[in-house]
Amino acid sequence: MAKARKKLRASRRLPVEFYTIRSRISCARFFRWDLSKCRTIDQLVRAMGDTAYTARQVGDAADVLEAMARDKDCFVVMTLAGALTVGKMGLVFCDLIESGIVKAVVSTGALMAHGLVEATGLSHFRYDPSKMDDNELFNAGYNRVYDSLEPETNLDHVEEVVDSILEQWE
């Protein structure tokens, strides 16, 4: 038994080349993600930062966001693209702006249009791909936005609202 343990330990030794390379790269160790120790969202996100892949990116992003929020001289420009308002993220943006963390916003027109749909009291709906394909949705007057649906009439309504506002400016 002792001989087997000694052989196992010897097989676990790293080659000398590893230590040469290790001195030239960042070698922070990963830690096991123990969810039982995470009692708050902050603890959860910080624990993610000690892991790998996208979880580590979430943890790193939280550190960057915190540093930017604490730095009163940091001018934060939030750039937005994609179906974020359809995904009900609008209040997150509002909170970031109202709290003073975000100072300016750059957005796509589509995101603004979908935000106006929500702001005028209209809705987007959850999409179940087993019910209808894109052609059937189109023929029924719906637009698919990833895994959500929007009636074409929503966009018609937003166009009417914007036209009304622009006519008042003339």
Task: Return the pLDDT at 29.
Answer: 65
pLDDT in tens, 130-150: 888 999 999 999 999 888 899
Q: Is 3 inside any structural domain?
A: no
Question: Mean pLDDT in the chain?
Answer: 83
pTM of the model: 0.59
Number of independent structural domains in the chain? 2
Same domain, 131 and 110: yes
| Residue 142 φ then ψ, to 5° | -120, 145
Query: What is the residue range of 36's domain?
Result: 30-71
Same domain, 67 and 94: no
User: Measuring CA to CA, which residue among 36, 82, 42, 74 is closest to residue 58?
Assistant: 42
Q: Is 169 inside any structural domain?
A: yes
Same domain, 82 and 155: yes
31 to 22, 28, 38, 68: CA distances (angstroms): 18, 9, 14, 26
